[in-house]
Amino acid sequence: MSTILELADVAVSYGGIPAVSDVSLRVEAGSIVSVIGPNGAGKSTLLNAVMGVLPARGTIRFQGQELRGRDIESRVQAGMSLVPEKRELFATMSVEDNLRLGAFRHRAAGRASANRALEEIYALFPRLQERRRQKAGTLSGGERQMLAMGRALMARPALLMLDEPSLGLAPLIVRDIFHTITELRRTGVAILLVEQNARAALQVSAHGYVLETGRVTLQGPSAELASDPRVVELYLGHG
């Protein structure tokens, strides 16, 4: 398997206060990797650094290329996409127009290719097709998360980064979202998944990292992490 994303000693700070320190991790092409850890551990900061939203020290290599100095747009063009924690939809625009905006960011995609991508998204999320003319602001929380994921996929990324896709959703909806994440793997996209829901994240991922106060404290195959006594005690203890 080839490595699609490789971080080496990545560090990010806010006004001199470190939020992420010396993080090294790898995502193999087509695989799902999770980053779990408590609130404030630096998970969102890490994804934002990879996407180029925040400046970072260290090395971030995507498909073999060092990303230093490249802006967000060029990282999107290179094949990465981020679904931020806040989902950032256009509430007064229709579901379909929100999706089309995702393709628009990918300049190489013409209208025919955008239409094909739209069909693929609707096949993955039939719910979005049913609601395609509805305003995004009228969707339920779970549908909004699906729309945010669908929009990110319109650019046909090689790497999809998901920031807390289960945040604020009811347990049954969370199950749907994680089911979709496993389905997505079949499209060949690699996924870097940040989650406080450690149990679900470790179930869908091949490899996991535990981030605590900005540092990787544990990592390994997800099945091994899920039975590690420290992970069980701190993150899987209840239920």
Interface residues with ligand ATP (CB under 6 A) are 14, 19, 37, 39-45, 85, 196
Q: Count Cβ atoms below 10 Å from residue 113 Cβ, excluding itself.
A: 14
* Minimum distance of ligand ATP from residue 99's CB (angstroms): 26
Cβ proximity to ligand ATP: between 32 and 49 the closer is 49
**Looking at beta carbons only, is 10 or 41 nearer to ligand ATP?**
41
Which CB, 15 or 69, lies closer to ligand ATP?
15
Q: Write down the least CB distance from residue 161 to ligand ATP, Å.
A: 12
Q: By C-beta, is 98 or 145 nearer to ligand ATP?
A: 145
Strand partners, 59: 8
Compare residues 99 and 201 and give the one whose CB is closer to ligand ATP: 201
How many angstroms from the chain centroid is the CA of residue 67?
18
Integer Cα distance of 3 and 6 in angstroms: 7
Tokens of 187: 């499209």
Q: Which helix (H) or strand (E) holds 174?
A: helix 171-184
Which residues are bridge partners to 211 per DSSP?
216
Nearer to ligand ATP, 2 or 39 (CB): 39
Rounded (10°) CA dihedral 214, 171, 178, 237 = 50
The whole-angstrom separation of Cα 179 and Cα 182 is: 5
Nearer to ligand ATP, 98 or 197 (CB): 197
Nearest-approach distance from CB 44 to ligand ATP, in angstroms: 3
CB of 12 vs ligand ATP, minimal distance in Å: 8
As measured in angstroms, the least distance from the Cβ of 41 to ligand ATP is 4
> How many residues in total does the chain contain?
239
Q: How far is the CB of 167 from ligand ATP (least distance, A)?
A: 8
3-state secondary structure of 221: strand
Cα gap 205→63, rounded to integer Å = 20
Q: How far is the CB of 123 from ligand ATP (least distance, A)?
A: 31
With contact defined as beta carbons under 8 Å apart, do 81 and 62 qualify?
Answer: no
Instruction: For tokens 């990465």, name the residue.
Output: 80
Q: How many helices (H) and strands (E) does the chain have?
A: 10, 10
> Which two structure tokens, joined as six digits, stand for 172?
């049954």
